[in-house]
Amino acid sequence: MPVATQACIKGLTPQQTEELGITLILNNTYHLNLRPGKRVLNASGGAHAFQGWKRNMLTDSGGFQMVSLSSFSEVTEEGVRFASPFTGEPTMLTHSIGADIIMQLDDVVSSLTTGPRVEEAMSRSIRWLDRCIAVHKASGKVNQQNLFAIVQGGLDHSLRDKCLDDMISRKDEVAGYAIGGLSGGEEKGLSKHAAAMDVIDKDCPCPTCKEGVSRAILHHLISHETAAAHAITQHNLVFQARLMGEARDAVIKGTFPRFLKDFFGRYFGDSGYPRWCVDALRTVGVDLLEGKEEATVVDGDGARWEYSADT
């Protein structure tokens, strides 16, 4: 789903976002607790009214900031206490934002972490889920907000299985599940687009591609004019929505492994498959290089955690 970290999809108004067919956005719990803060959100009638978004909204757990902002946070059994980077004032995360889907608070560690801390985080996430369920029931909003559990356990399959089993045993008290603690990123270069007169994707139905906006003009404007952010965001949202729709259809049809091979073949077949993608998918029985002995594999640290207030 598109991420509206600061209660806004960068470059687009809520109306423009909805016109692209987007029905669900994500608000960042940590950032909105800091600014504008609970007092302003409550006074405005919640995050929907505050940002003028009439469709569905999900708020994240805040767990990612436990890793990306570890120097500002303290994790205890009580919860996560952050020091405001603006005032130094301590604050505890709260889900009084008014979202339709609220993720439980989970104990998150870097995907590269090994040893006892991973099991500690997994077990604590289960205990915190029970506390979230109790508070959710007491809030009187069970029919208005959907509480989701988050499966933790790092890269340890046995811990993941245990966490999943424990959370499934609470299936009557949560609305759904998410897989946590596996986000990673990789750097991308833009210089190759400086003289490219083709659109981002000739098969994309987004306004940017349909209107023939070239990669070259986007490269020229991106650091100077907000129009470029507007155009790129339109493309990104449509691309993401189409991709997830195709993935969902493949899961329903039982053809998801073939979908993955086709997707990676289209996007990385010429430039080289990221090794971390190849290795990660092999652990779940999907070999992207099957039947492609001549394929190029590019090394790189795909498990690096990234953080940006502008995400």
| 172 is known as an active-site residue | no
pLDDT > 80? residue 309? no
What is the C-alpha separation between 282 and 230, in angstroms, rounded?
37
Residue 307 in this model has a pLDDT that exceeds 80? no
Question: Looking at residue 186, what is its pLDDT?
Answer: 40
pLDDT at 113: 87
- The Cα 58–Cα 255 span in angstroms is 28
The pLDDT, as a whole number, for residue 185 is: 40
What confidence tens digit (pLDDT) does each residue in 157-185 have?
A: 999 999 999 999 999 999 999 999 876 44
- Residue 105's pLDDT is 93
Which tokens sit at 276?
A: 């971390």
Confidence class for position 245, pLDDT limits 50, 70, 90? very high
Counting residues of the chain whose pLDDT is more than 90, the rounded percentage is 65
Do 247 and 259 touch, CB atoms closer than 8 A?
A: yes
Kindly tell me the sign of the dihedral angle through the C-alpha atoms of 53, 58, 60, 61.
positive
Confidence at residue 303, expressed as pLDDT on a 0 to 100 scale: 39
* C-alpha–C-alpha distance, residues 66 and 30, integer Å: 10
Task: State mean pLDDT over 239-261.
Answer: 97
The pair of structure tokens assigned to 18 is 């909805």
Run of H or E including 15 = helix 14-19
Residue 203 is a catalytic residue: no
- Bridge partners for 273 per DSSP: 297
* Residue 174 CB partners (closer than 8 Å, separation 6+): 104, 129, 133, 147, 148, 149, 167
Positions of E strands within 143-281: 146-151, 176-179, 273-274
Q: Which two tokens stand for residue 162?
A: 């245990």
Residue 161: DSSP 8-state: H
Residue pLDDT, tens place only, 202-216: 999 999 999 999 999
pLDDT at 195 over 60: yes
* pLDDT > 60? residue 189: no
* CA nearest to 217, candidates 208, 34, 233: 208
Q: Within 10 Å of residue 306's Cβ, how many Cβ atoms? A: 12
∠ CA 260-263-267, nearest 5°, is: 140
> Three-state DSSP class for 65?
helix
Q: Are 98 and 107 in contact (CB under 8 A)?
A: no
Cα torsion 65, 70, 76, 80: sign: negative
List the catalytic residue out of 100, 156, 201, 262. Answer: 201
**Does residue 68 or residue 310 have the better pLDDT?**
68
pLDDT digits (tens, 9 = 90+) for 223-232: 888 999 899 9
* Lowest-pLDDT range of 79-93, 120-134, 137-151, 233-247: 79-93
Catalytic residue chosen out of the listed positions 60, 106, 107, 166: 60
Give yes or no for a contact between 39 and 79, defined as CB atoms under 8 angstroms apart: no
Q: CA-CA distance, 236 to 253, in Å (whole number)?
A: 26
In which band, very low, low, confident or very high, does the pLDDT at 247 lie, cut at 50, 70 and 90?
very high
What distance, in Å, lies between the first and last C-alpha atoms of the chain? 12
- Taking only the tens place, the pLDDT of each residue in 71-127 is 788 888 988 888 888 888 888 776 668 899 999 999 998 888 899 999 999 999 999
Q: How far is 99 from 274, CA to CA, in rounded Å?
A: 36
Q: Which residue has the higher pLDDT, 286 or 267?
A: 286
Mean pLDDT of the chain: 88
